[in-house]
């Protein structure tokens, strides 16, 4: 076993990564990287103040060091789904988290499709923030609740029977999710701004619970979308999918790409199925710093073609596409993040730095965790990937420990 994969052996040891280019300050630079006790450290402090020299060395073989990938929209993987079969939710979380880690995703938001209040209150305690490690797998940043306060005409693969509005204000939202559950376990929710009562709830909901708000599954006009943005809904869920089609006189949510405010981030699925490459390119050229690559993967990720569950519905996977059984409705994806990064370059002509930041820095910024995730800045968590020049993943580190198939074990459920 490689000593770097043993957390006890490397405890308190300073590790030097050399022969590498590291992603820092929006460029790839020829520098060393130092980590200790799960954090990226400033070598000047270690050398001059602590009088410490490296204990261990890792040759990156001219590879690229990137922060670990962050997926802010993941419904399931390897035969497990967060929204269905709630009796095995802990088993699902454990196996999905470990599977994601070995795919290079070191942090993520488990996503629940529109569900009943009973499901939220049963499942959410298992989806709250949880530190990443070789024992736990990828870090959970908190849950993403996609619905049920969304538009029935843009339901996608969601079950309209559980859809809600907020005619009575925040009380309706708290009745569905539970205020204390939002505060403890949830990172962000997706809502349609035009659903009754939602617009007036955005600002107080953020203030009272600390959750972030994203716009999606919506027929909102561009005026409504901009108003929701000003109230705090600064994220867009899977841009182009399940929203008003772009029109020159009313571009809907897509029109936020043309807003003067650059704080908006948009999730985009670069699997070549959900969004045509030209559309990805348009979004990139309009607002490159807002791009957040998401997989929106469902339980069939990493599995063979066939029929699988998505919440309370059934989906068919064939040739990389996922549709609700008996329909032409797209129902999530089976994409993996590393492929989305490569596709982003292929679709848009983006640089390697821009593509990597769309899977690291931008998602971290969108969730307000860039102080510890998504960068290689001093003090950040030592969740890192060693990549070759074609962006194939060669090594994965979580909390400063090398993750391998030997020390991270999971099972798939077929």
**Count of CB atoms within 10 A of residue 143's CB?**
28
- What is the Cα–Cα distance from 310 to 88, expressed in whole angstroms? 15
- What is the Cα–Cα distance from 385 to 373, expressed in whole angstroms? 13
Q: Is 296 a catalytic residue?
A: yes
72 touches 295 (CB < 8 A): no
Residue 123's nearest CA partner among 280, 311, 391, 256 is 311
267 labeled binding residue: no
* Beta-ladder partners of 111: 144
Cα dist from 72 to 108, 139, 222, 273, 296, whole Å = 5, 11, 24, 19, 8
- What is the Cα–Cα distance from 357 to 43, expressed in whole angstroms? 24
266 Cβ contact list (under 8 Å, min separation 6): 235, 236, 239, 256, 257, 283, 287, 290, 291, 292
249 labeled binding residue: yes
156 labeled binding residue: no
Q: Is the CA virtual torsion 361, 366, 372, 377 positive or negative?
A: positive
Q: Which of 71, 159, 296, 381 is catalytic?
A: 296
221 three-class SS: coil
157 labeled binding residue: yes
24 labeled binding residue: no
274 labeled binding residue: yes
217 labeled binding residue: yes
Which pair of structure tokens corresponds to residue 55? 């204990």
Residue 300's nearest CA partner among 274, 325, 273, 334 is 334
332 labeled binding residue: yes
330 labeled binding residue: yes
331 labeled binding residue: yes
The residues annotated as belonging to the active site are 296
Binding residues for Zn(2+): 146, 217, 238
Binding residues: 146, 157, 217, 238, 241-242, 249, 274, 330-332
């Amino acid at each position: 076993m490689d000593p770097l994969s043993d957390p006890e052996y490397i405890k308190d040891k300073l590790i030097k990564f050399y022969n590498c280019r590291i992603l820092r300050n929006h460029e790839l630079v020829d520098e060393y990287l130092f980590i200790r006790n799960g954090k990226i450290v400033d070598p000047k402090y270690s050398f001059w103040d602590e009088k410490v020299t490296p204990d261990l060395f890792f040759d990156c073989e001219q590879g690229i060091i990137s922060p670990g990938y962050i997926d802010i929209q993941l419904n399931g993987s390897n035969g497990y789904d967060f929204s269905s079969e709630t009796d095995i939710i802990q088993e699902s979380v454990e196996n999905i988290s470990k599977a994601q880690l070995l795919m290079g995703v070191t942090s993520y938001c488990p996503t629940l499709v529109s569900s009943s209040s009973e499901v939220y209150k049963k499942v959410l305690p298992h989806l709250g923030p949880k530190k990443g490690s070789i024992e736990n797998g990828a870090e959970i940043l908190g849950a993403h609740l996609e619905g049920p306060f969304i538009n029935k005409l843009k339901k996608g693969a969601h079950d309209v029977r559980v859809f809600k509005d907020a005619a009575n204000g925040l009380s309706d939202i708290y009745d569905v999710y539970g205020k204390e559950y939002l505060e403890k376990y949830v990172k962000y929710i997706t809502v349609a701004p035009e659903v009754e009562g939602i617009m007036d709830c955005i600002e107080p909901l953020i203030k009272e619970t600390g959750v972030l708000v994203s716009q999606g599954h919506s027929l909102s006009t561009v005026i409504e979308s901009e108003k929701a943005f000003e109230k705090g809904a600064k994220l867009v869920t899977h841009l182009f999918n399940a929203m008003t089609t772009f029109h020159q006189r009313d571009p809907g949510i897509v029109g936020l790409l043309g807003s003067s405010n650059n704080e908006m981030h948009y999730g985009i699925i670069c699997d070549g199925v959900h969004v045509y490459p030209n559309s990805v390119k348009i979004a990139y050229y309009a607002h490159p710093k807002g791009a957040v690559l998401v997989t929106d993967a469902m339980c069939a990720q990493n599995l063979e073609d066939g029929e699988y569950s998505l919440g309370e519905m059934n989906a068919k996977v064939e040739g990389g596409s996922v549709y609700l059984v008996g329909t032409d409705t797209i129902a999530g994806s089976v994409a993996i993040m590393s492929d989305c990064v490569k596709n982003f370059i292929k679709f848009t002509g983006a640089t390697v730095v821009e593509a990597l930041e769309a899977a690291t820095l931008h998602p971290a910024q969108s969730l307000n965790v860039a102080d510890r995730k998504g960068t290689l800045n001093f003090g950040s968590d030592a969740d890192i990937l060693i990549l070759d020049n074609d962006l194939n993943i060669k090594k994965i580190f979580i909390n400063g420990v090398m993750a391998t198939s030997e020390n991270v074990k999971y099972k798939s459920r077929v």
